Amino acid sequence: MDIRSLANHLGLSIGTVSRALNDRKDVNPQTRQRVIAAADALGYTPNQSGRTLRSGRTSTVGFMLTLEHDSAVYGEPFFMALWEGVQSGLDKHGLDLVILLARKGEDALTFLRRHVSRGTVDAWLLSATQVHDDRIAFLQNRNIPFVALGRSDTARPFAWIDLDFEAVVADAIALFAAAGHRRIGLVAPPATINNSQIVIDSYKSALENAGIDWDPDLVHHGDTDEVDGESAARELMMLRDKPSALLLMGETAPVGAYRALRQLHLEPGRDIAVIGLRDNPACRSLLPKLTCFKLDLEALGLALSEAVVATLADPMNADFPHLQRRWPMGLELGSSHDPQTSLTLESNAQL
């Protein structure tokens, strides 16, 4: 059924039916209800291609996922829950979410240019923001609405929501310092990703606050996935002056780190303290229980959707201070960060 057939069935003009379906205020409420009821009963759906041509809008928001970095730094469990929150929020505004994958090795700006030229979506959600991210200036120069999941070093303000890495690192280092650790290893994301710089700066500040000297040998940059967690832990434990604690800023890095430590005959939570980034499903089976941070991904996704809807409404005059947020993560104490805690739990379990 097309709109012409629906109009003929109702004995109304095509214009009246179109205005009723688009909830225009110049249509009588009873007529609007009659049109909507008939459309539902007869299975009418609007021709989206035609609507896009007429309005210049696709009613979609694109989430650009760069497999080279995102899948390593965050992982599928992170994004699936996040996208559920984003779509839930967009749905309230009649918008849909589409995921656009930039293949490994593909230039991110080239990928974005291609889809912008095609008019694929009305607005963008960017992830894996770089320290210097050309995508941001590209969208700004064309007044294309977007929100970034992450910060970037750019002169012009833009809408972003980022995890509060500063608080995460400060809390972790404070826990280690309180337990007497002075050699604290850090597994950080690739240096080109903006949150890596935030993590490093926060790590240095937290060490200084704890009266601990900064040692660049204790910092490892990598993909922070399970494979990198294993190699990073092995690399750091080969140092002449080994760390007594490890902070792993990756979704699945603790899984690999636990394996490497045990291969070196070191027990996490007893011989070496460990803190991970997030209560990731892959890490929940680790023993001793991993000390890490909790994150409400659906709520974060909903906040991203609200921010992108705001930029869609007025991309030129977006309230950027209001649309720039550090998203909190709550500390989840396990027994991996403190040998005394681990020993106490083991004793209680034996009793």
Q: What are the tens digits of pLDDT across the range 314-343?
A: 766 666 667 899 999 999 999 999 866 544
**Of 225 and 105, the one with more pLDDT:** 225
93, two tokens: 């505004």
For residue 93, give the DSSP letter.
T
Q: What are the tens digits of pLDDT across the range 259-294?
A: 999 999 999 999 999 999 999 888 999 999 999 999
The average pLDDT across 94-121 equals 91
Closest CA to 74 of 206, 165, 185: 165
The dihedrals phi and psi of 28, each to the nearest 5 degrees, come to -55, 135
Closest CA to 173 of 91, 291, 70, 38: 291
Residue 185 has pLDDT above 90, yes or no: yes
SS3 call for 259: helix
116, two tokens: 């912008």
Q: Which residues does 313 contact at the CB level (< 8 Å), separation at least 6?
A: none
Q: What is the pLDDT of residue 347?
A: 44
The average pLDDT across 161-169 equals 97
Q: What is the pLDDT of residue 228?
A: 92
Which amino acid would we find at residue 4? R
Give the pairing type, strands 291-294 and 330-332. Answer: antiparallel
Q: Which residues does 258 contact at the CB level (< 8 Å), separation at least 6?
A: 268, 274, 286
Residue 200 has pLDDT above 90, yes or no: yes
Q: What is the pLDDT of residue 3?
A: 79
pLDDT bracket for residue 7 (50, 70, 90): confident
Q: Note the pTM of the prediction, 2 decimals.
A: 0.80
Q: What is the pLDDT of residue 344?
A: 43
Write down the residue that tokens 């832990």 correspond to: 233
The average pLDDT across 122-145 equals 93
Residue 21 has pLDDT above 90, yes or no: no
The CA dihedral of 259, 260, 263, 265, to the nearest 10 degrees, is -100
Sign of CA dihedral 228, 271, 291, 282: positive
SS3 call for 270: coil
Q: What are the tens digits of pLDDT across the range 32-87?
A: 889 888 888 888 776 554 444 444 577 899 999 987 665 555 556 789 899 999 99
d(CA 57, CA 294): 37
**CB of 59 closer than 8 Å to CB of 119:** no
Quick one: what percent of the chain has pLDDT higher than 90?
62
d(CA 96, CA 86): 9
Q: What are the tens digits of pLDDT across the range 150-160?
A: 999 987 899 99
141, two tokens: 């120069």
Whole-Å CA distances, 311 to 112, 157, 287, 327, 336? 18, 13, 44, 19, 42
Q: What is the pLDDT of residue 75?
A: 58
> Which stretches does DSSP call E strand in the chain?
60-66, 96-102, 123-126, 146-149, 160-163, 184-188, 219-221, 245-248, 273-278, 291-294, 324-327, 330-332
Q: Dmax over Cα atoms in the chain, in whole Å?
A: 86
pLDDT bracket for residue 2 (50, 70, 90): confident
Q: What is the pLDDT of residue 15?
A: 83
Q: What is the pLDDT of residue 343?
A: 43
Q: What is the pLDDT of residue 5?
A: 86
The average pLDDT across 186-194 equals 91
pLDDT bracket for residue 20 (50, 70, 90): confident
Whole-Å CA distances, 6 to 23, 38, 288, 298? 16, 8, 64, 39
**Of the ranges 2-6, 71-75, 212-216, which one carries the lowest mean pLDDT score?**
71-75
Residue 239 has pLDDT above 90, yes or no: yes
